[in-house]
Structure 1
Amino acid sequence: MKVTFLGTGTSQGVPVIGCECNVCKSLDFRDKRFRSSVHLQIGKLSLVIDTGPDFRSQILRAGITTLDAVLFTHEHKDHTAGLDDIRPFNFKQQKDMPVFGKLQVLEQIKREFAYIFSGKRYPGIPQVETIEIDEKPFTIEGITITPIPVLHYKLPIFGFRIGDFTYITDANYISDESLKLIEGTEILVLNALQKDPHISHFTLDEAVAMAQKIGAKETYFTHISHRLGLQDAIDQELPQGIALAYDGLQLTLD
């Protein structure tokens, strides 16, 4: 499995429009963050988790030429707004794009992208196959994917575990039952928004504590705000085995 971080930023991305802070003005490429998304290449299977507003630019930058399915963690716009840009994959692959999400996510997508699902289908619109998932594991082309229920304030959302890789974003609570599903993970991705308390995201300290509780060999933080600080400075503060992810980072799992 090869994991590529397409985006590691929060809902506004980094830099934030109009902001003059040292993070937004940083010349370090790692401090430039598209909205959170990740690409997984598992043998011949190509998957994306979330299609935010930067999806087109992310796919072009990463050089991704095939895509077999999209998984959605939840329905917020910074995770779904780029769905229209699956069209080139429709044209190239000559098939509908399977889109996996819980019922509330698929219903929201059908409202926001009503033209995709209209009875009067305009030529050239995205072609999607919506597939409802719940808390039970499911498979895509023989690959097992386990949803990890977590809370984003009061909103139930999914992380996903695939083999020894677990991806959780937009969370501020993980139940004991969900922690059992994560046990044994070698690489964990977890959100760490900022240092100050937040109503719906783990802070840096909370994310570190959760990562140490889970005990993965390697943990990478994502969904990062400009308020967290500079990549280089924060990495030096983190315990061994924990680091900030950055756009373009690639990981390989055997």
Structure 2
Amino acid sequence: MTITFLGTGTSQGVPVIACECEVCISTDKRDKRLRTSLLIESDDKTVVIDSGPDFRYQMLRAKVMHLDAIVFTHEHKDHVAGMDDIRAFNYKQQSAVDVYADMRVQTALRREFPYIFDDKGYPGIPQIELHTIGLEPFDIGSIHFIPLQVMHYKLPVLGFRIKDLVYITDAKTVDESERQKIRGCKTLIVNALQKEKHISHFTLEEAIEFAHDIGAEATYFTHISHRMGKHADIDPELPAGIHLAYDGLKLEI
């Protein structure tokens, strides 16, 4: 199974509009961060976790030619806004794309994309097959997902364990019961927004503490703000086995 970081930025992306900080004007491609999303490719399925505002460009940049499913972590705009662009896959594949979301996210999708769900049958709209998920494991082909619940301030967000990989975005707290499901993984991907305190995201220090508690062989930080600093400055300072992810990074799991 191969995973690709389609985006590793926070809700505004990096560079931020109209910002001239050293990160936003950096010429290092690792400092160019689209909104957070992950591509998973197995022998039989191609799945994306979250389709944010940059989804169209992410599909083009990664040369994704087939898409079986989108899995949503939560309903914030930077994670759902690009779902309309699955239309291209509908046309090429002549089939609906499976969408996996909990009931709260489904309510948001119906609010954001009402034309997809009405009964008018307008031609050319996205064709989806909606699947309800919660905290019970589910399969997409050979890919086995174990949902994890983390808290994004007061909002429950889903993370996922897939074999020895754990993917968590938009977390501020993770209960011990959920940490028990995570421990033993070999690869941990988790959000690390910035160095300064934040109400709804792990800071760099908190993400490092979480990584040490989990004890994965390799940890990659994602959902990174321009306030974190430049990749070339921050990554070498991290403890052994911990790295900043960047757009386009591929891992074999």
Q: TM-score, normalised by structure 1?
A: 0.98
Q: State the 1:236 CA deviation.
A: 1.4
Q: State the 1:188 CA deviation.
A: 0.6
Aligned to 2:194: 194
1:3-49 alpha-carbon deviations (Å, 9 max, x no partner): 10000000000000000100000000000000000000011210000
Counterpart contact for 2:68–2:97, Cα < 8 Å: yes
One-letter code aligned to 1:181: K
Ranges in structure 1 where 5+ consecutive residues have no aligned partner: none
1:40-79 alpha-carbon deviations (Å, 9 max, x no partner): 0011210000000000000100011011110000000000
In structure 2, C-alpha distance between the alignment counterparts of 1:148 and 1:102, rounded to whole Å:
12
Aligned to 1:170: 170
In structure 2, C-alpha distance between the alignment counterparts of 1:2 and 1:191, rounded to whole Å:
20
In structure 2, C-alpha distance between the alignment counterparts of 1:181 and 1:152, rounded to whole Å:
18
Q: State the 1:92 CA deviation.
A: 1.2
1:46-195 → structure 2 map (5 Å cutoff): 46-195=46-195
Q: State the 1:174 CA deviation.
A: 0.6
Q: State the 1:180 CA deviation.
A: 1.1
Query: Is 1:207 the counterpart of 2:199 in the alignment?
Result: no
In structure 1, C-alpha distance between the alignment counterparts of 2:186 and 2:106, rounded to whole Å:
30
Q: State the 1:139 CA deviation.
A: 1.0
In structure 1, C-alpha distance between the alignment counterparts of 2:153 and 2:63, rounded to whole Å:
35
1:81-138 alpha-carbon deviations (Å, 9 max, x no partner): 0000101111111111110011000111011100001111210000011111010101
Task: Please list every run of at least 4 consecutive aligned residues from structure 1 whose deviation after the TM superposition is greater than 4 angstroms.
Answer: none
Aligned to 1:221: 221
In structure 1, C-alpha distance between the alignment counterparts of 2:142 and 2:9, rounded to whole Å:
31
> Match of 1:227, SS?
helix
> Match of 1:243, SS?
strand
1:202-246 alpha-carbon deviations (Å, 9 max, x no partner): 000000000010000000000000000000110111000000000
In structure 1, C-alpha distance between the alignment counterparts of 2:225 and 2:142, rounded to whole Å:
36
Aligned to 1:233: 233
Q: State the 1:142 CA deviation.
A: 3.5
In structure 1, C-alpha distance between the alignment counterparts of 2:181 and 2:70, rounded to whole Å:
22
> Match of 1:139, SS?
strand
Identity of aligned residues (%): 57
One-letter code aligned to 2:225: S
Report how many aligned residue pairs link the two structures: 253
In structure 1, C-alpha distance between the alignment counterparts of 2:166 and 2:57, rounded to whole Å:
24
In structure 1, C-alpha distance between the alignment counterparts of 2:24 and 2:11, rounded to whole Å:
14
Q: TM-score, normalised by structure 2?
A: 0.99
One-letter code aligned to 2:233: A
Counterpart contact for 2:3–2:40, Cα < 8 Å: yes
More divergent stretch after superposition (106-115 vs 136-145) = 136-145
In structure 2, C-alpha distance between the alignment counterparts of 1:50 and 1:222, rounded to whole Å:
13
